[in-house]
Structure 1
Amino acid sequence: MSLIVQTIMLIVGAYLAGSISSAVLVCKLRGLPDPRTEGSGNPGATNVLRIGGASSALLVLFFDMLKGAGPAYLAYRLGVDPVSLGLVAIAACLGHIFPLFFGFKGGKGVATAFGAMAPIGHYLALFLMLTWALIVLLTRYSSLAAICTAILAPVYTWWLDDRFVIPVAMLSTLIVIRHKDNIKRLLSGNESKVSRKRRRKT
């Protein structure tokens, strides 16, 4: 099998894996409202936290990260070049953002992107999680935490293993672009904060 065909297959597989909406499935299995129509309307872990509580949000976070980590790790083990690795990781994120199986209405792709970065090394995964958690604790803005973590991710990668700066920078750029509306709301003071309060059923 040629490297080009192998890379194309990895990209397609990553997109299909990303298209499995963890938020929608977890909410459906737990009898929660559809995250695409409740709360912020974003089918991601933060919105599931708002409408379903911490345990549901953690499940979504785990599976969303796995969607990125799995294809990226497989591509890494197969020895693809850094740019192709970045394309595989972005394909998983695009699957999450525009899911084939869920009407092309997906989330921001943050957890999937960070999951795709995680196989680079344990320290990078740790730094990403700590950065995100610290900013959320200090500001209670999930979007701000995601943006800041994305901006710092290439810096961490350059310090830990500079071979993967390009694919990480590609993912970081995608995350920042996906948060353009959040950036506008943050600047205007209209961005919603993270709440752990579960919505009562009626």
Structure 2
Amino acid sequence: MILTLLAFVFGYACGSIPFGLILTTLAGAGNLRAIGSGNIGATNVLRTGRKDLAAATLLLDAAKAALPVLVVSFIASRRLSPMDAWPPAPVLAVALGAFVGHIFPVWLGFKGGKGVATFLGALLAVSWPAGLAFMAVWLAVAFLTRYSSLSALTASAATPVVLWLLGQQGAAIVFAAMAALIFFKHAANISRLRAGTESRIGKA
């Protein structure tokens, strides 16, 4: 229980690092909180006109979940017997912590990003087959609809099902909760999708 709690705190600390805000500030690209949606994620960083910063933000937002999960996975693997279920609670806790940290960072008044890149980073580290499935679904929906938000929503919703089919029931439950938070953070996007006013990929 203590290791699980520490893992969550460690994940939260890593996940709450606002790389998008840091990179745009250091590059003199303006105040990210006053641009577009005010979000700290890669999509809003792209609105600064800096594709390089947006790409870096995307990678770092994924890495700040993946690396803590890998660290805790290594530690947990040394403490478990071959018969124990995988992933164990500390691994799921650090994944959840990193995701929550990105969405609700204490440094920014608990107003963070939408969590898609961090969700994917955590997923790839917990179960890379499920991570590949996420990317396949995202790409397929994006190709068919040209909606980035719908791609993210569909891929995140499919993730718990994929994890369950892979026999990772614990991970399926945790990532289902994370997917619910993604839907919550995309409430405005969902409204625009219903109204037919959501921006498509490649268009303003």
Q: Same fold (TM over 0.5)?
A: yes
Alignment coverage as a number of residue pairs: 194
* AA aligned opposite 2:39: N
* AA aligned opposite 1:85: V
User: CA 1:33 to 1:106, structure 2 compared with 1: closer, same or farther past 3 Å?
Assistant: same
Partner of 1:200: none
Distance in 2, matches of 1:82 and 1:136, equals 33
Query: Structure 1 residue 133: deviation in Å?
Result: 2.7
Partner of 2:80: none
Partner of 1:192: 199
Percent identity among equivalent residues? 39
1:181 and 2:178 correspond:
no
For residues 41-67 of structure 1, the C-alpha deviation after alignment (integer angstroms, 9 at most, x for no partner) is: 211111112323432211111100011
For residues 47-93 of structure 1, the C-alpha deviation after alignment (integer angstroms, 9 at most, x for no partner) is: 11232343221111110001111222233333386455333322211
Distance in 2, matches of 1:136 and 1:35, equals 25
User: CA 1:31 to 1:10, structure 2 compared with 1: closer, same or farther past 3 Å?
Assistant: same
Partner of 2:15: 18
* AA aligned opposite 2:134: L
Query: Structure 1 residue 151: deviation in Å?
Result: 0.7
CA contact (8 A) 1:108 1:179 kept: yes
User: CA 1:92 to 1:43, structure 2 compared with 1: closer, same or farther past 3 Å?
Assistant: same
Query: Structure 1 residue 32: deviation in Å?
Result: 1.1
For residues 104-139 of structure 1, the C-alpha deviation after alignment (integer angstroms, 9 at most, x for no partner) is: 321111111111111133332222223223322332
1:90 and 2:96 correspond:
yes
TM-score normalized by structure 2? Answer: 0.83
